[in-house]
Amino acid sequence: MAKVKNSKRAVYRELPKAATGIQGLDEITGGGLPLGRPTLVCGSAGCGKTLMAIEFLVRGAIDYGEPGVFMVFEETAQELAQNVQSLGFDLDQLIREKKLTIDFVRVERNEIEETGDYDLEGLFVRLNHAIDSIGAKRVALDTIETLFSGLSNEGILRAELRRLFRWLKDKGVTAIVTGERGEGRLTRHGLEEYVSDCVILLDHRVVEEVSTRRLRVVKYRGSVHGTNEYPFLIDENGISILPITSMGLQHKVSNERVPTGVSRLDAMLGGEGYYRGSTVLVSGTAGSGKTSLAAHFVNAACGRGERCLYFAFEESPQQIVRNMKSIGLDLERWIKKGLLRFHATRSTVYGLEMHLVTAHKVIREFQPHVVVLDPIGNLTMAGTVDDTTSMLTRLMDYLKSQKITAVWTSLTSGDATETTDVRISSLVDTWLLLRDIELGGERNRAMYVLKSRGMAHSNQIREFLLTEHGIELTDVYLGPEGVLTGSARQSQEAKETAEALAHEQEIAARRRELDRKRLALEARIAAMRMEFEAEEEESKRMIGEEQARSDKVRQDRERMAASRHADAKQISNKVRAK
């Protein structure tokens, strides 16, 4: 056997697989069920075996072009139709298109008498006929164990079942065989003995009044597979299974930035806002404005034409819309435009796994750019803190892989503001902390960026105001007494303004004084100048007079000399020069 396995592996490296098309199952099994081999799906009543079988066939017929045969042992046609009606599978259409054949096998013990030797060739004939009539590649037998209640010769049945599974392999069809969960073993009649390639166990469990369906691949010969229990959900789109850790940390990151909706906050985050695809945690005490901050981001994103998905665990959508209206955010228009969708559930409605599966499902459907979870702490009501942490980590991984920006709000208790209830703070990329500052008989909101990976961010505390036109961030007063907010800040600011005014007035007074002095000085200078000018005038006049007098003396002297005829020519020249 081991030899066969090895040689197969050498050829294919991995077993060839048939994709089921069931959301998540192919991921867990690394590509699907073993191709051309039967797979046992077992579980207790109502855990979704039949549904998984049907979906396997329907997806195969529609998505992979592989017709299927459904052999039903337990239900009647009406019951089956009712069961799948809610799933939106149109079996009749598939039957008309020859993509599906359903054979209802009814074995009623009270109609049957057994005498002597027999075999199940009739079943083989029917199955063979059904497979050949539409060229089926897939077969589901639901639930073949019913034969054990219809026919009493267990020895014959066991031998025939063994032959049936071998025959299915030889036929090369990929088959799902369902089996009822038995006491202490996988199936009531030990079908797992015959189907050795792949066994999937479905489970429907109620833990702390919360019911969750889970799936586990018990074995998958020749293939690696996820070994965990995976939660799954049955809804109008069929089964969706959530792989617990479907990804590592290899997701691509974006350098694109998205504004936060609060311009001052953008400025605090390096001027551009969050990274696209990052996870933002807004934590704070009660009533500190977490939802408002998240709503701003939503509003801004919708304004850019992006889709937002808002998971509300505490408030109803109407309530959030109304409350946001009071701070000037009209979220209703985005809802009407189809850009914003609320998904409001009480966290206690179902278990964490279900929350996660639901979240995945809604996200897949809506393809949002932004996802808000408000508040995450509430989820701990649906499970333990550890479970919540693991669930949120998985959700975060998923959102990151989809490049969805996530805003999570978290309520923190008064003292431990820098620890969150669910201990995810080390995982988030940007952490905004809102807190109340109690001072001077009032509570005021303050905000700071506790961390923001990969960007320069402000280390300043800002006062966080909720106004009629949204959130405003203002600088807080940092004084010798510490941070002042609210009216304390205002009074401090008023005081400062008054002081500044007084100071200004003083300066003005000094300036006027100076002006006055200057004027006085100038006046004195002018007076002195006038005095000087008067003196100068007087002096000039006196000089002129003196000049005139001395000229006169000289002339007189010259005249006298001339009259004496001494050096007549020379002197006359000198006079002319003057």
Partner 1 sequence: MNIQTKPQDNIDYEEKWELRLYTAGQTPKSLSAFANLKRLCEEHLKGRYTIEVVDLTRNPQLAAGDQIVAIPTLVRKLPEPLRRIVGDLRDTERTLVGLQLRPAKSDNQ
Q: Which residues of the shown chain bind partner 1 in the complex (CB under 8 A)?
A: 103-107, 111-126, 128-129, 147, 150-151
- Between 118 and 532, name the residue whose CB sits nearer to partner 1: 118
Beta strands in 136-209 (DSSP E): 138-142, 174-180, 198-207
What does the alpha-carbon distance between residue 114 and residue 93 come to, in Å, rounded to a whole number?
39
Q: Which residues are CB-neighbours of 325 under 8 A, at least 6 positions away? A: 331, 332
Task: Give the C-alpha distances (Å, rounded to integers) separating 295 from 202, 320, 324, 327.
Answer: 40, 9, 7, 10
Residue 76 Cβ vs partner 1, minimum distance, rounded to whole Å: 12
What does the alpha-carbon distance between residue 295 and residue 538 come to, in Å, rounded to a whole number?
91
- Between 107 and 244, name the residue whose CB sits nearer to partner 1: 107
What does the alpha-carbon distance between residue 312 and residue 376 come to, in Å, rounded to a whole number?
9
Going by C-alpha positions, the residue among 336, 331, 312 that lies closest to residue 321 is 331
- Between 112 and 247, name the residue whose CB sits nearer to partner 1: 112
Residue 102 Cβ vs partner 1, minimum distance, rounded to whole Å: 10
Coil, strand or helix at 18: strand
Task: Give the C-alpha distances (Å, rounded to integers) separating 419 from 99, 433, 434, 463, 498.
Answer: 56, 10, 12, 21, 42
What does the alpha-carbon distance between residue 477 and residue 485 come to, in Å, rounded to a whole number?
7
- Between 66 and 160, name the residue whose CB sits nearer to partner 1: 160
- Between 151 and 483, name the residue whose CB sits nearer to partner 1: 151
Residue 106 Cβ vs partner 1, minimum distance, rounded to whole Å: 5
The residue count for the chain = 578
Residue 129 Cβ vs partner 1, minimum distance, rounded to whole Å: 4
Residue 166 Cβ vs partner 1, minimum distance, rounded to whole Å: 17
What does the alpha-carbon distance between residue 218 and residue 215 come to, in Å, rounded to a whole number?
9
Residue 101 Cβ vs partner 1, minimum distance, rounded to whole Å: 10
- Between 117 and 209, name the residue whose CB sits nearer to partner 1: 117
- The single-letter DSSP state of residue 422 is T
- Between 126 and 205, name the residue whose CB sits nearer to partner 1: 126
Could you tell me the two tokens for 323?
């409350």
- As beta bridge partners, residue 342 has 310
- Between 116 and 441, name the residue whose CB sits nearer to partner 1: 116
Coil, strand or helix at 118: coil
